[in-house]
Structure 1
Amino acid sequence: MQLQDFWERMREEFGPLSDSFARDHVMSELGGRTVVEALRDGFDAKTVWAAVAKDRELSF
């Protein structure tokens, strides 16, 4: 998954709250990181999206 596709999915699912969710919501699936931290730390976008989907019970 390209990073651009990841952010498009985030905006589709969370709308104007997508940036806040990405910065503030810590997920155990990402080792206690937020989306932004996980991407910064080298997690690929597909792995991060899978964690978001699992956390929010979304289909992907």
Structure 2
Amino acid sequence: MKLSEFTRAVHDEFGAFGAVLLRDTVIVELGNRTAEQALAAGMPARGVWIALCRVQDVPPDRWHGAGRPKPTRG
């Protein structure tokens, strides 16, 4: 997942509230970091997205990114 895809997924799933979540939600799975801190530390955007989805109780069928087709293997 590219950072631009991450940003789009956050916006599509959480709207304007996404910026607050990225800045203020400390996620244990990310080493007690916020999503912003985790990305700045070099953690992969995909892992940060999944952790954010888990902590915000986003249904697993939307973890691929809201409004985005599921990735295919190939």
Q: Which has the higher helix share?
A: 1
Scaled by the length of structure 2, what TM-score is found?
A: 0.76
Q: Which has the higher strand share?
A: 2
Tell me how large the CA RMSD over aligned residues is.
Answer: 0.8
Which fold has the larger relative contact order, with Cα–Cα distance below 8 Å and residues 6 or more apart in sequence?
A: 2
1:28 corresponds to: 28
Q: Does 1:2 align with 2:2?
A: yes
Instruction: For 1:1-60, list aligned pairs within 5 A.
Output: 1-58=1-58, 59=60, 60=63
The answer for unaligned runs of 5 or more in structure 2 is: 64-74
Distance in 1 (CA, whole Å) between partners of 2:56 and 2:20 is 15
Q: Which has the larger radius of gyration?
A: 2
One-letter code of the match for 1:35? Answer: A
Distance in 2 (CA, whole Å) between partners of 1:53 and 1:19 is 14
